[in-house]
């Protein structure tokens, strides 16, 4: 097999994105992030508003130019050029935005918009596939659970969930291997959220499609992702397979995010409350960026930035509590053990 066929679908390596601002300090919205997404894998990128998720998404698809770092797509480093200047193969890396209404043209029939997306993909090196353009549009609509007759209608004639299906169909027109979806569920009601979540899982499995699912709400994505990458103030603080997330969150921020999710019985899952706001990314706290909000912070956390520490299979955490740890432990347990041994 070629190197490209065996490479991960997407590798983000030490990416940094800085917004320069007139008369104000620059914002380092993404402050050195590395993330690997395997083929067919669904990775949830979660964190509070303002932590840099959208900026990272834009850097991945070429809508923001990273100041440093590289994006490797199917084993090939992407050009640091803007999206328009990239070669056509790179359209296999697609993005879906939060509000499908604003990304669909209100004055053109859905079928025409999907046909255009198909033609753009075909104008590249790839073959057009079987069947006429009309049949391919119908097949795309079917793939996302809409009837062929949807092609005759306009965006405003659909519900929010249906519009998101159309936006996904348009991304699929490019025959992608990776789709980055920025808050694809958050503008939808609960039932549409569940339907689109199911659709995304099905598409990922059927098409061996890797998805990066961005959400400020861990509760929304928890059931559909294979892995969770937790972002805080421009950095990844933890990467964890979703199955282990509940049993063993390793970073105090992850623990707090989980604790904030209400359970069906009205109780909180964990007694850790997340106090305060995300600090200004143009002036991040020294040491660990989370330390001012961390219930377990100790001296080292206030001065030294934690490295990404491997803690078991496929897991990493940036937290000094885990220094020297050989397996994942809850931060509350580690803090208690530390308190017991520290004079």
Q: Which residues bind ligand ATP (CB under 6 A)?
A: 19, 21, 27, 29, 47, 49-55, 216, 281
Min dist CB 281 to ligand ATP, Å, is 5
Token pair 């969150």 in the structure block, residue:
249
How many angstroms separate the CA atoms of 35 and 56, rounded? 11
Min dist CB 283 to ligand ATP, Å, is 11
Task: Between 29 and 42, name the residue whose CB sits nearer to ligand ATP.
Answer: 29
Min dist CB 142 to ligand ATP, Å, is 32
**Checking DSSP bridges between strand 93-96 and strand 227-232, what pairing results, if any?**
unpaired
Task: Between 83 and 126, name the residue whose CB sits nearer to ligand ATP.
Answer: 83
How many angstroms separate the CA atoms of 69 and 50, rounded? 21
Token pair 């921020």 in the structure block, residue:
253
Task: Between 113 and 193, name the residue whose CB sits nearer to ligand ATP.
Answer: 193
The backbone torsions φ and ψ at residue 43, rounded to the nearest 5 degrees and listed phi first, read -110, 130
Beta bridge partners of 68: 16
Task: Between 27 and 60, name the residue whose CB sits nearer to ligand ATP.
Answer: 27
Min dist CB 86 to ligand ATP, Å, is 21
Task: Between 40 and 285, name the residue whose CB sits nearer to ligand ATP.
Answer: 285
Min dist CB 49 to ligand ATP, Å, is 3
Task: Between 60 and 78, name the residue whose CB sits nearer to ligand ATP.
Answer: 60
Strands (E), 74-226: 76-77, 93-96, 178-182, 210-215
Closest CA to 73 of 51, 53, 88: 88
Token pair belonging to 45: 């990128």
Min dist CB 76 to ligand ATP, Å, is 25
Residues 6+ apart with CB under 8 A from 280: none
The backbone torsions φ and ψ at residue 317, rounded to the nearest 5 degrees and listed phi first, read -145, 145
Token pair belonging to 228: 């969770």
Min dist CB 208 to ligand ATP, Å, is 27
The backbone torsions φ and ψ at residue 258, rounded to the nearest 5 degrees and listed phi first, read -65, -40
User: Contact, 307 vs 325, CB < 8 A?
Assistant: no
């Amino acid at each position: 097999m070629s190197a490209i066929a065996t490479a991960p679908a997407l590798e983000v390596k030490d990416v940094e994105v800085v917004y320069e601002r007139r008369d104000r300090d620059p914002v380092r919205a993404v402050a050195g992030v590395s993330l690997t997404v395997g083929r067919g894998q669904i990775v949830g990128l979660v964190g509070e508003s303002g932590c840099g998720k959208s900026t990272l998404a834009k850097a991945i698809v070429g809508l923001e130019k990273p100041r440093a770092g590289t994006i490797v797509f199917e084993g090939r480093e992407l050009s640091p050029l803007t999206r328009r200047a990239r070669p056509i193969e790179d359209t296999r890396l697609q993005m879906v935005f939060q509000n499908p209404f604003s990304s669909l043209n209100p004055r053109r029939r859905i079928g025409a918009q999907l046909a255009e997306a198909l033609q753009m993909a075909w104008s590249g090196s790839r073959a057009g596939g079987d069947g006429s353009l009309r049949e391919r549009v119908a097949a795309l609509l079917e793939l996302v659970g809409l009837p062929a007759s949807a092609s005759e209608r306009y965006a405003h004639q659909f519900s929010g969930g249906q519009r998101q299906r159309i936006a996904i169909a348009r991304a699929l027109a490019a025959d992608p291997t990776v789709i980055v979806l920025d808050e694809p569920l958050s503008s939808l009601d609960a039932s549409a959220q569940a339907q689109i979540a199911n659709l995304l899982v099905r598409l990922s499995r059927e098409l061996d499609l890797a998805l990066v699912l961005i959400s400020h709400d861990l509760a929304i994505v928890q059931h559909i992702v294979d892995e969770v990458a937790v972002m805080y103030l421009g950095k990844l603080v933890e990467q964890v397979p979703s199955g282990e997330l509940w049993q063993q969150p390793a970073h105090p921020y992850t623990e707090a995010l989980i604790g904030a999710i209400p359970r069906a019985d009205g109780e909180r899952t964990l007694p850790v409350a997340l106090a305060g706001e995300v600090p200004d990314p143009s002036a991040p706290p020294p040491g660990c960026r989370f330390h001012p909000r961390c219930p377990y912070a100790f001296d080292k956390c206030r001065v030294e930035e934690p490295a990404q520490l491997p803690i078991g299979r496929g897991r990493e955490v940036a937290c000094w509590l885990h220094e020297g740890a050989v397996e994942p432990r809850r931060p509350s347990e580690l803090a208690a053990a530390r308190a017991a041994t520290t004079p």
